[in-house]
Structure 1
Amino acid sequence: MKQSYSDLVRTYAGTLDLFGPQVLSEWATHEATAQRYADELPSGTTLLDLGTGGGLPGMVIAESRPDVTVILCERRARRAAFLKLAVAKLGFRNAHVFARDVRQYQQPVEWIAAQAVGELPILLELVRHIVPARWFLLTRRPRTWYAPQELMGFRITARREPLDEQHDLVILTFTAKEAAS
């Protein structure tokens, strides 16, 4: 029987502290949310999953979308080691682990997923060196959260898709002001 990412999480989550108990108890919901991220990506895209932790949403995307290249960016050694093991065991040719701080990543990317990185100004500072004049961010945010219309030289437009009673999947398009003119 072929192993899945979920199987590996169940095997290693406790010993490697991959996720908190709430995530594990609501695993099906978190996996479904990650699949919603996958559904938003165009074919042939490269996605940087920033601060992926134990692999959400990046591993689910890699598993369900072989047409999308996923860069799993995780600076914590134990979690990065799990990701490398999972990518190898599952034979994912479309997933790669970057086991360092994103500020050391040098390849340009148009699509970024970030679930637990913090506020937009912090995130933008972390990725500014790798994003083009137009790029996209997939993020899970409370229904009460709204993106600014402009930030650090970018115009921002948002599209929201409901995930549950309290959260939306927010797809942000960042366009450099000079490119938008």
Structure 2
Amino acid sequence: MISSEEDALTFVGEHHSDAVQRKLASFVTALQTENKKQNLVSAQSLNSVWQRHIVDSLQLARFVPRETLGPWIDLGTGAGLPGLVMAIAREDAEIILVESRAKRIEWLKGQIASLNLPNCVVRGARLETLDPIPVSVISARAFAPLTKLVRLAARFSTPDTIWLLPKGRSAAQEVAELPPRLRSLFHVEQSVTDPDAGIIVGKGLEAKAI
């Protein structure tokens, strides 16, 4: 379990190149600065930014085979969590950030440019208005309850699409509330950054099943 900023920084150093570490550090600095202008994340969480936001995002990579290159769509990405962080760590993967709020869209585009992430794009629109495309990964952090999220995002899913949905204590309950035909497609994995948090992982959901 990663329980401190020291643990988080050690994790990043052990798993990522110097170039990725520099980009992550630049992103952290930009996030801290921008958060004074718009509420991207809770101010208190920035005291543990590497644990609460960076490694909390990076841990999702353990559920995605290295040969999975995308598209990876991150719904309601907000500050770019986890999508922009994954774009930094996986420059070989195509990452699509979905965000509808204008100020956040502008900031995300600025980060993509300043961090030189040609593998990452922003779709500035509500999820409901986007044309569906088949994707390899669907991620969402604090975007919507699972039942609603499945209904909104299923049209992007194929039987091979991996769903990665970081949750708090509600993870198991949200899976239990799915209809039986969908419940078996999802399970909960333990977060490595919070003993009380789970990650809902799913696969095998076809759009026609909804």
Query: TM-score, normalization: structure 1?
Result: 0.85
Determine whether 1:166 maps to 2:196: yes
Query: Mean Cα displacement is larger for which, 111-120 or 13-22?
Result: 13-22
Instruction: Work out the CA distance in 2 between the residues paired with 1:18 and 1:140.
Output: 17
Give the 5 Å matches for 1:119-158.
119-143=145-169, 145-146=171-172, 147-148=175-176, 151=179, 154=182, 155-158=184-187
Q: Counterpart of 2:187 in structure 1: which amino acid?
A: A
Please name the residue that 1:34 is paired with. Answer: 57
Determine whether 1:108 maps to 2:134: yes
Query: Mean Cα displacement is larger for which, 166-175 or 143-152?
Result: 143-152
Please name the residue that 2:46 is paired with. Answer: 24
Determine whether 1:58 maps to 2:95: no
- Give RMSD over aligned pairs: 2.6
Q: Counterpart of 1:117 in structure 2: which amino acid?
A: F
Instruction: Work out the CA distance in 1 between the residues paired with 2:208 and 2:33.
Output: 49
Q: Check 1:178–1:56 CA distance in 2 against 1; reply closer, same or farther (3 A cut).
A: closer
- The answer for unaligned runs of 5 or more in structure 2 is 1-21
Determine whether 1:83 maps to 2:108: yes
Cα deviation, 1:74-131, whole Å, max 9, x if unaligned, reads: 1111111110000011110111001101112222213111111221121012112222
Q: Counterpart of 1:13 in structure 2: which amino acid?
A: N
Larger relative strand fraction:
1
Query: TM-score, normalization: structure 2?
Result: 0.75
Determine whether 1:98 maps to 2:123: yes
- The answer for unaligned runs of 5 or more in structure 1 is none
From 100, 104, 118, the counterpart of 2:144: 118
Larger relative helix fraction:
2
2:103 is paired with a residue whose SS is helix
How many residue pairs match? The answer is 179
Q: Check 1:134–1:61 CA distance in 2 against 1; reply closer, same or farther (3 A cut).
A: same
